[in-house]
């Protein structure tokens, strides 16, 4: 350290007057903003690779299923199969863009990079940290969820005005699955354990949600079980928004996603508090 910097340091090091007291129990927007800003800055470094995988993978699913199965099945539930799968893949895109970064990203930041130790030394608590992380991933995945719709539109999908609600559905879904991923990252013993989670949980979630085929054709107990699959509610809401399907009220599906998000957020806060605070 140079002599000039040492003299500068004397000026620079003087403590500042105390900032306003922060509320001990309240969730503070300033705290969320700090974490969100960090995520944004990191994202500006990696947005190309992140966006590539989040957009290209669902698009491949859409084209492969849409044209592969679509050649064999003309219509499903009164709509062209490409339209059916195009809306279903929105939910899958949101799931993949939320649960995977939440599981792996959170685990790496906690166990290997110790990022959260640094953040929690600042005036931020675990609740705010989890909320900001889930919110960031939720907004990002909700945005990425639009990609399959754009691709399907290029192949003839003509959505109604309510398609504007799809990002909101995606954000709510993404928030819930991000919180789920954060919670799982706090309970797995090692990063390799995510293999079990993907095979036993994530794969059934996206296959048994009405994404690629209607659930009515499945055994009754599977179809009934889909009600507890949050992604099923996302699929129904997205199809309802895009095609304006009459009949079913969206409120039950919205409520299902809200309950899921609230439960997963609570689990994530408890789980992360357990592993981050001694």
Partner 1 sequence: MSATQPAIALRGVTKRFGAITAVDRLDLEVPAGICLGLLGNNGAGKSTTMRLLTAQAIADEGAVEVLGHALPRESKAARARSGVVPQRDNLDEELTVAQQLEVFARLYRVPRRERDSAIARALELADLAARADTRIDALSGGMRRRLLIARGLVHRPELLLLDEPTVGLDPQVRQELWSLIVTLRDAGTTVVMSTHYIEEAEELADDVAIMARGRVIDRGAPAALVARHAGAEVRELTGDARALAHAETQARALGLPTRRRGPQVAVLRAEGLDGQLGPGRTRPAVLEDVFVSVTGEEAT
Enumerate binding residues for partner 1 (CB under 8 A).
Answer: 1-2, 5-6, 8-16, 18-19, 21-22, 24, 28, 30-31, 33-35, 37-38, 41-42, 45-46, 113-115, 117-125, 276-278
Residue number, 112 or 161, with CB nearest to partner 1:
112
Question: How far from the centroid of its chain's Cα atoms is residue 136's Cα?
Answer: 8
CB–CB of 210/189 below 8 Å? no
Q: What are phi and psi of 76, to 5 degrees?
A: -135, 130
* CA gap 277, 189 in Å, rounded: 17
Residue number, 23 or 251, with CB nearest to partner 1:
23
Q: Beta strands 79-80 and 75-76: pairing type? A: antiparallel
**What is the smallest separation between the CB atom of 3 and partner 1, expressed in angstroms?**
9
**What is the smallest separation between the CB atom of 134 and partner 1, expressed in angstroms?**
18
Residue number, 39 or 57, with CB nearest to partner 1:
39
| DSSP summary character for residue 108 | I
Q: In 3D, which of 42, 182, 204 has the Cα closest to residue 98?
A: 182
Residue number, 71 or 277, with CB nearest to partner 1:
277
**What is the smallest separation between the CB atom of 8 and partner 1, expressed in angstroms?**
5
**What is the smallest separation between the CB atom of 2 and partner 1, expressed in angstroms?**
6
| DSSP summary character for residue 72 | T
């Amino acid at each position: 350290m140079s002599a000039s910097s040492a003299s500068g340091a004397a000026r620079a090091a003087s403590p500042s007057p105390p900032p306003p007291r922060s509320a001990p129990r309240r969730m503070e927007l300033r705290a969320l903003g700090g974490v969100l800003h960090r995520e944004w800055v990191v994202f500006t470094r990696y947005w190309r690779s992140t966006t590539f995988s989040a957009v290209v993978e669902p698009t491949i699913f859409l084209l492969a299923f849409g044209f592969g199965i679509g050649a064999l099945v003309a219509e499903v539930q009164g709509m062209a199969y490409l339209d059916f799968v195009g809306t279903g893949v929105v939910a899958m895109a949101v799931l993949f863009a939320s649960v995977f970064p939440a599981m792996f990203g959170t685990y790496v930041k906690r166990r290997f990079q110790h990022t959260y130790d640094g953040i929690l030394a600042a005036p931020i608590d675990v609740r705010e940290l989890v909320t900001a992380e889930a919110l960031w991933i939720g907004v990002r995945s909700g945005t990425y969820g639009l990609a399959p719709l754009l691709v399907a539109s290029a192949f003839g999908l003509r959505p109604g005005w309510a398609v504007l609600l799809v990002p909101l559905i995606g954000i709510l879904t993404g928030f819930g699955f991000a919180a789920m991923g954060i919670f799982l990252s706090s309970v797995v013993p090692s990063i390799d354990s995510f293999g079990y989670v993907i095979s036993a949980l994530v794969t059934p979630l996206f296959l048994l949600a009405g994404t690629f085929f209607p659930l009515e054709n499945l055994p009754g107990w599977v179809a009934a079980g889909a009600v507890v699959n949050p992604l099923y509610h996302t699929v129904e809401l997205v199809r309802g928004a895009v095609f304006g399907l009459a009949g079913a009220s969206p409120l039950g599906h919205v409520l299902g996603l809200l309950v899921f998000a609230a439960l997963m957020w609570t689990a994530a806060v408890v789980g992360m508090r357990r592993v981050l605070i001694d």
